[in-house]
Amino acid sequence: MHDMSKRAIFLARTVAVALICVSLVVGIVLSARGAMHGVGLVLSAGVLAAAYARLVLRWHPSQPDAVESDDPST
């Protein structure tokens, strides 16, 4: 049961990170090609990344680098 939960969390985090990466890359490519929607995608990636860092990693910009997430699944 514990393994299942860990796997689900791992999967969810992987999907979130993948989503951020895809939004970022597609956004940059679209912006570079002159499509203004690319900017929206990069901003979406930024919001997702910020939400991920804050809610999942429990990170704050003032946090020292050595301090890692207290989430047991990491």
Partner 1 sequence: MAEQAIFSRARGLLGADTVRLIRVMAGAAALGLGFLAHELAGTSAQARHPTASVLAWLSSIGLALVACASHRHFALDRLRLAAPRWPRDRGRVAVWMVGGGLFVLAFALRAYQNDIMPLAWSGDEGSTGLTAVRMLCGELTNWFGIGWYSFPALFFALPAASVGLLGPTYGALRLPSALAGALTVVGLYWWLRAAYGWKVGVAAALMLTASHYAIHWSRIGLNNIWDGLFVVWIGGVLWRGWQTGQRWPYLAAGVLTGLSQYFYVGSRTLPIIIACWLLSMALTAREQLRREWANIAALAFVTVVVFLPLGLFFGEDVAEFMAPSQRVSLLRRDWPEPGVNWFEYTARTTGKSVPQVFIENVRDAALGFVWLPVRSWYAESGKPLLLAVPAVLALFGLGWLLVDMRNASGRYLLLVLACTIGLVAISESTPAGQRFVAGSVVAAACVGLGFALLGRLLAEVLRLPGRHGVVLAACALVVGLGFDLNFYFREYAPMASRSDPNTQVATEVARRIATYPAGSQLYFFAAPRMAYRGFATMQFVAPHVEGIDVLQPLTAAPDWPAGDAVTAFAFTPERAAELEFVRQRFPDGRKAWINMPTGQPLVLLYEVGASRP
Among 5, 12, 47, 73, indicate the residue that binds partner 1 (CB under 8 A). Answer: 47
d(C-alpha 52, C-alpha 29), whole Å: 23
Contact status: 17 vs partner 1 (CB under 8 A):
yes
46 is an interface residue for partner 1 by CB under 8 A: yes
Question: Do 50 and 23 contact (CB within 8 A), yes or no?
Answer: no
Q: Is 33 in the site for partner 1 (CB under 8 A)?
A: no
Q: For residue 31, give the nearest of 44, 13, 18, 19 by alpha carbon.
A: 44
Contacts of 65 (CB under 8 A, 6+ apart): none
To the nearest whole angstrom, how small is the minimum distance from the Cβ of residue 64 to partner 1? 8
Interacting residues with partner 1 (CB under 8 A): 17, 20-21, 24, 28, 31-32, 36, 38-39, 42-43, 45-54, 57, 59-68
